[in-house]
Amino acid sequence: MHNNKQTLLLIHGFPLDRRSWNGQLDALKEQAHVLAPDLRGFGNDHRALPEAMSMDAYAQDLKDLLDEQHIERVVLCGLSMGGYIALAFLAAWPERVAGLVLANTRANADDEEGRKGREETALNAFDKGMVVIARGMLPKLLAEHTRNALPEITEHMGSIIAEQRPEAVAAAARGMAKRPDRIPMLPSIAVPTLIITGSDDVLMPLPTSQAMANAIPGSALVVLPEAAHLSNVDAPEGFNAAIRAFLKGIA
Ligand code: MLT
């Protein structure tokens, strides 16, 4: 622990990097020691990549990072793919987790069609390039009001996606395709848990979050109005307020 503050480990979504947490890094630094690493292969991370990067492998990287920094326990906050990784981390090292925030995510595995789509994404990353992927994804990631009223933020998110290496994107897509169903573990989650989502998240519709909240004992659900999949970008004040209240509750 740093100055008695909790460490908040922010785990970014796909296909983004630590910069997608820009609206949290400074805003939460009084309440927590905030860590927001680039996952393997994304952003400024240039470690070697396997063909498929499992959620367990990302979780292992994060655990190694905590070990290196001698950080014993953390509050995990994963958005979307980051949530899949947070659940993998919790399954492996529950004693290292002081609290869990699952944002715009889900616990179930991909179905057959979903897995096919992952392989297409992996191939498209190489063949069509990340600019095309960014263009296709942005309308689903950000709420309409962000795309209309905040062009700089919208362009920044687009360029973050466009800058990712196809190898990293493909490895993540293939890793997500292989992730296990974590629904069975939800009733046994014993750490304080906050679930955050956006009212307009078409990728992880509200019932998905409600089902997780119902299954995880004592968990709370915050639905941010007019926020889509990147709810931390669409509604940073609401997102940060929810995290602050959560941190206070488990201090
Ligand atoms: C993400 O934002 O990390 C992705 O939408 C997750 C996914 O594709 O399942």
What is the tens place of the pLDDT at every residue in 214-231?
999 999 999 999 999 999
Q: Report the 3 state secondary structure along the chain.
A: CECCEEEEEEECCCCCCHHHHHHHHCCCCCCEEEECCCCCCCCCCCCCCCCCCCHHHHHHHHHHHHHHCCCCCEEEEEECHHHHHHHHHHHHCHHHEEEEEEECCCCCCCCHHHHHHHHHHHHHHHHCCHHHHHHHHHHHHCCHHHHHHCHHHHHHHHHHHHCCCHHHHHHHHHHHHCCCCCHHHHHHCCCCEEEEEECCCCCCCHHHHHHHHHHCCCCEEEEECCCCCCHHHHCHHHHHHHHHHHHHHHC
pLDDT digits (tens, 9 = 90+) for 125-167: 999 999 999 999 999 999 999 999 999 999 999 999 999 999 9
Mean pLDDT of the chain: 97
Q: Confidence class of residue 4 from pLDDT cuts 50, 70 and 90?
A: confident
Q: What pLDDT, on a 0 to 100 scale, did the predictor assign at position 140?
A: 97
| Residue of 2 and 116 predicted with greater confidence | 116
CB of 31 within 6 A of ligand 1: the answer is no
Residue identifier of the C-alpha nearest atom 7 of ligand 1: 81
Atom of ligand 1 nearest to the CA of 79: 3
Supply φ then ψ for residue 71, to 5 degrees.
-100, 120
CB of 208 within 6 A of ligand 1: the answer is no
CB of 203 within 6 A of ligand 1: the answer is yes
Q: Count Cβ atoms within 10 A of the Cβ of residue 17 and give its class: 0-12 exposed, 13-18 middle, 19 or more buried.
A: buried
